[in-house]
Chain A
Amino acid sequence: MQTSMPHGSLPLLYTFHFYLFSLIGVVSALLFVTRKSPVAAALWLVNTMFCLAALYVMLDAQFIGAIQVLVYAGAIMVVFLFVIMLLNLGHGSIADMRGLGWKLAAGAVGLAILAEIFALTKARTPLTLTLPEGFAAREIAQSGAIAPIAAPLFNEYLLAFEVTSILLLAAVVGAVVLGKQRGEDDAR
């Protein structure tokens, strides 16, 4: 496993691919934000999500990478595309960009947030919390990609896991109620 190597001596190929997927991801995200047609925008977003899945695999999170492809690119984006086509919004002839003032304001807000995040990355994280180099990769090599996530999920985070099921139930009920056709008595 390449990723089990210490960070100082990462193979050139690994670094190259990390930057390559990052670059493709950022370019796809920029194209996603600027495309007029909602269908094209959604497909560029799917591309970004595939790049993120590749980065997850490179960061020793193989299971999360698989889930990213299955749930995000496979399920959530299909629902988005389905709604775009259901509402027949795929033309893109009507420009939905806001005016120049909005763009300048958005650029200013974006730069401010970017500066804040970079200031945060300068903060020192406590060294005592840091795992030894290549710990995650060794754990995956020993017990597989899923077991290290499943163990804390069903022990330490069991309550959160159960609360998630209530959240999903509420979301399903909410979506059905919202999507229900109105009755005759309160028709438009």
Chain B
Amino acid sequence: MLAEALFFSALLFVIGVFGVLIRRNAIIVFMCVELMLNAVNLTFVAFAQQYGVGGQVFVFFVMTVAAAEAAVGLAIIIALFRHRQTVDLQNINLLKG
């Protein structure tokens, strides 16, 4: 099932890229990034079935990084919302406050 899993993973990744580009809500853009991480995890698991369990260990690390990223990213979004009263990326385009 390696080829099918890779095909499905590619589709999910591209849907994630598409979402990042067409949405303006910062939280939804962030969730699209999570979707892309999930697609890569599927690739790791599919390869782990044929090339050894190291791929599954990497999925473990990717999930840890995703959890840390979600904590920090959502804290940034809350801080932004407190500052600008919006999470629309069109209004948040300056690096200075």
Residues of A whose CB lies within 8 Å of any CB of B are 7, 10, 15, 18-19, 22, 25-26, 29-30, 32-33, 38, 41-42, 45, 48-49, 52, 55-56, 58-61, 63-64, 67-68, 71-72, 75-76, 79-80, 83-84, 86-87, 89, 94, 96-98, 102-103, 105-107, 109-111, 113-114, 117-118, 121, 125, 129-131, 136, 139, 148-149, 152-153, 156-157, 160, 164, 167-168, 170-172, 174-176, 178-179, 188
Contact = CB atoms under 8 A, between A and B. Distances in A.
Contacts of A168: 64, 67-68
28 contacts: A19-B4, A22-B4, A25-B12, A29-B11, A29-B16, A30-B15, A45-B35, A52-B42, A55-B42, A56-B42, A59-B1, A59-B45, A64-B41, A72-B34, A79-B71, A80-B30, A89-B25, A89-B87, A96-B23, A114-B10, A117-B10, A131-B50, A157-B57, A160-B61, A175-B74, A176-B75, A178-B72, A179-B79
Contacts of A58: 1
Nearest to A87: B81
Nearest to A181: B82
A71 B70 CA distance: 11
A139 B1 CA distance: 18
Given A59-B5, A109-B17, A110-B18, 6 more contacts: A18-B1, A89-B25, A114-B10, A136-B53, A174-B72, A188-B83
B64 to A, nearest CB: 5
A171 to B, nearest CB: 4
Interface of B: 1, 3-8, 10-19, 21-25, 27-28, 30-32, 34-35, 38, 41-42, 45-46, 48-54, 56-57, 59-61, 63-72, 74-79, 81, 83, 87-88
B21 A153 contact: no
Nearest to B89: A96
A88 B14 CA distance: 29
Most buried by A among B4, B17, B38, B61: B38
Contacts of B3: 121
Contact of A130 (B13, B18, B51, B56): B51
Contacts of B1: 7, 10, 15, 18, 58-59
Contacts of A152: 53-54, 57
A22 B72 contact: no
B45 to A, nearest CB: 5
